[in-house]
Amino acid sequence: MQVYCTDGTVVDCARYEVNEYGLVLYGTEDQQDRERYDTSDPQQVGFVPHERLWYVLPEGVTPQAGLSAPGQGQPGAGTRPQPQPRQ
């Protein structure tokens, strides 16, 4: 899976868990450092707070052309409406 953040950061993970603060990301077996941790459980590789999460896509799926994170691609674009100038 790939987790996309609003700032453009992309994190690979095998699975995630949702809690009240955000997503806890767990790595794949390839990402585990067996010398450091003697366990077969997936290791936590990251955390993304809800307000920084853009979307999660399964492996092999690519974002559609033209989609960009808030604040990226278009000036003034974001998750909140932009104030309009008074006339």
pTM exceeds cut of 0.75 = no
Task: Kindly give, in sequence order, each residue whose CB lies less than 8 Å from that of residue 7, ignoring residues fewer than 6 positions away.
Answer: 52, 69, 71
Nearest Cα neighbor of 77 from 68, 87, 86 is 68
32: confidence class by pLDDT, cuts 50, 70, 90: low
| Model confidence pLDDT, tens digit, residues 35-76 | 556 666 678 888 999 999 998 998 888 777 555 555 555 444
| Selected residue with higher pLDDT from 77 and 27 | 27
HEC readout, 60-75 = CCCCCCCCCCCCCCCC
